[in-house]
């Protein structure tokens, strides 16, 4: 007897996203009240150019109340409680070069496979690396970058330019079409686990500006600056003994410092004797005309159009410092205002640190959690509020109807009893915000942000102490 065919897997789905726009804060508050009372959700394409804009995930009574308070007080909001609001979007119609895709390099953290994203958009997934080697981490970042780049384009989110951090520049070259997409699989295998030998030198992160890091290594042999990430983070590369000497020169015990869990020598002269196999893989990738400019964190300029010059830069990139802080500032000076991190990593934090006090928006397509569709919904909501036009119809679940019982029930993640954390988790009932926030939803959510900063700071400190205790560099 023939067995029945297995039932098809349901298509993955993310959260509903409410989007409202109006010509004034008062009008927008009225529209929010209409939705809170159970009125129809507006879906007027003509709203696209209206300046006052609010977006929120999984609308509930408390989130709608918070949104109304923010709008009436004309307080911009950028993500806590899964809510975004502005009356002054950063994007300006007709200006070129405003949206950048930024591709992360190697990370000390594992990358989730994002199977829900691959399934929702019918994109190729991948088997995550289990080796923990530099090649294995490269395999993961290349596949994560390709997957999220494809998902963003399915949502109608496209860059005006692309850039990368360290090995992320390779993802940027594929994204722009400068490297032939059909060569991706061979390239990923060529850069994968056990593909080549690397020097046995360490990377160490120091929480200080590059000028201060130079003083730490002044006169110390066998150590260089490999990454200038942001005003408050620099990476050293060198022997264990040299890094130990540099660490010993840090007078302030509050300055973070840690050794990363991978060793390679990339972006330092120590890699030079090992260059040939890696350079051969780079030179083997066929070139195509780029659809958008690719920017280099080696030269802080566009990649050259000339093929021989591009080949020389690819090799130079391997042994030269990553000047990511300078690149971000240059892009902002050139008019880029929206920075999209296409992958899991710290680039969003580097951008915020570098552009502190300067007008910009930064959003991440992944924050290392397995609910990839929810992260894409958050990114799309943030970008829509600031003037981009994602195709929410292509995001499963985003345009689901808002049920009446959803909008009238009390939200368990916002309010005086239970306040939202920006990472989607919630503080316990009666937790740190409850007694101080009272019944004011804005203060409740604002206090949640402060609590989240304190929580994140504790996690960073605990992590640093573990590394310092268990993996500190010894001479």
HEC string for 89-148? CCCCCCCCCCEEEEECCCCCCCCCCCHHHHHHHCCCCCCCCCCCCHHHHHHHHHHHHHHH
What separation in angstroms does the CA of 243 have from each of 221, 235, 303, 386, 474?
Answer: 10, 11, 33, 43, 9
Residues 6+ apart with CB under 8 A from 65: 36, 441
Q: Which domains does the chain have, with CATH numbers?
A: 17-93+380-457 (no CATH), 99-196+293-320+330-364 (3.40.366.10), 202-263 (3.30.70.250)
What is the number of other CB atoms lying within 10 angstroms of the CB of residue 263? 17
Question: What is the number of other CB atoms lying within 10 angstroms of the CB of residue 221?
Answer: 10
pLDDT of residue 434: 38
Q: How many helices (H) and strands (E) does the chain have?
A: 16, 14
Query: Which tens digit of pLDDT belongs to each residue from 407-443?
Result: 444 444 444 333 333 333 333 333 333 334 445 555 5
Token pair for residue 210?
Answer: 């590059």
Eight-class DSSP state of 384: H
Q: How many CA atoms lie within 13 A of 474 on its CB side?
A: 4
Q: How far apart are CA 228 and CA 188, in angstroms?
A: 26
In the chain, the percentage of residues whose pLDDT exceeds 70 is 79
Highest mean pLDDT (candidates 94-98, 131-135, 354-358): 354-358
Check: CB of residue 258 under 8 Å from CB of residue 205: yes
C-beta of residue 86 within 8 angstroms of C-beta of residue 53: yes
Tell me how far CA of residue 237 lies from CA of 12, 67, 201, 221, 271, in angstroms. 42, 47, 7, 11, 11
The interaxial angle of helices 240-248 and 210-217, nearest 10 deg, is 110
pLDDT of 317-343, one tens digit each? 999 999 999 999 999 999 999 999 999
- Average pLDDT score over residue span 56-66: 92
How many other CB atoms are found less than 10 A from the CB of residue 391? 14
pLDDT tens string 195-211: 889 999 999 999 999 99
Cβ atoms of 233 and 350 within 8 Å: the answer is yes
- Do 447 and 436 touch, CB atoms closer than 8 A? yes
Tens digits of residue pLDDT in 351-368:
999 999 999 999 999 987
> Which of residues 433 and 134 earns the better pLDDT score?
134
pLDDT band at 53 (very low <50, low <70, confident <90, very high): very high
Q: Whole-model pTM?
A: 0.84
53-382-181 Cα angle (round to 5): 135
């Amino acid at each position: 007897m023939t067995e029945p065919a297995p039932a098809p897997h349901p298509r993955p789905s993310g959260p509903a996203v409410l989007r409202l726009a109006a010509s004034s804060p008062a009008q927008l508050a009225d529209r929010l009240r209409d939705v809170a009372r159970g009125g129809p959700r507006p879906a007027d394409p003509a709203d696209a150019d209206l300046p006052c804009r609010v977006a929120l995930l999984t609308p509930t009574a408390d989130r709608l109340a918070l949104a109304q308070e923010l709008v009436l007080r004309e307080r911009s909001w950028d993500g806590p409680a899964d809510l975004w609001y502005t009356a002054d979007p950063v994007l300006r119609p007709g200006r070129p070069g405003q949206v950048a895709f930024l591709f992360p390099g190697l990370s000390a953290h594992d990358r989730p496979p994002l199977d829900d994203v691959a399934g929702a958009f019918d994109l190729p997934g991948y088997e995550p690396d289990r080796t923990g080697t530099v090649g294995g981490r490269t395999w993961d970042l290349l596949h994560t970058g390709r997957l999220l780049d494809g998902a963003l384009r399915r949502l109608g989110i496209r860059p005006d330019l692309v850039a990368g951090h360290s090995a992320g520049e390779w993802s940027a070259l594929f994204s722009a079409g400068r490297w032939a997409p059909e060569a991706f699989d061979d390239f990923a295998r060529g850069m994968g686990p056990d593909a080549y030998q690397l020097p046995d030198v360490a990377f160490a992160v120091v929480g200080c500006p590059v000028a201060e890091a130079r003083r730490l290594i002044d006169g110390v042999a066998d150590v260089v600056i490999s990454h200038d990430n942001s005003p408050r983070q620099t990476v050293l590369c060198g022997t264990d003994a040299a890094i130990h000497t540099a660490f010993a020169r840090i007078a302030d015990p509050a300055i973070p410092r840690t050794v990363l869990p991978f060793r390679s020598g990339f972006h330092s002269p120590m890699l030079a004797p090992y260059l040939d196999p890696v350079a051969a893989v780079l030179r083997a990738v066929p070139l195509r005309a780029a659809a958008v400019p690719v920017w280099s964190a080696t030269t802080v300029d566009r990649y050259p159009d000339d093929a021989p010059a591009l080949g020389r830069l690819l090799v130079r990139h391997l042994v030269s410092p990553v000047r990511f802080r300078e690149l971000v500032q240059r892009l902002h000076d050139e008019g880029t205002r929206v920075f999209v991190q296409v992958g899991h990593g710290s680039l969003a934090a580097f951008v915020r640190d570098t552009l502190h006090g300067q007008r910009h928006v930064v959003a991440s397509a992944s924050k290392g959690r397995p609910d990839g569709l929810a992260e894409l919904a958050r990114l799309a909501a943030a970008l829509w509020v600031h003037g981009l036009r994602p195709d929410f119809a292509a995001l499963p679940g985003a345009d689901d109807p808002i049920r009446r019982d959803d909008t009238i029930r009390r939200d368990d993640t916002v309010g005086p009893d239970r306040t939202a954390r920006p990472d989607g988790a919630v503080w316990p009932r009666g937790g740190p915000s409850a007694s101080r926030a009272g019944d004011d939803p804005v203060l409740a959510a604002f206090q949640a942000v402060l609590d989240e900063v304190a929580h994140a700071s504790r996690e960073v400190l605990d992590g640093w102490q573990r590394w310092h205790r268990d993996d500190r560099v010894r001479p």
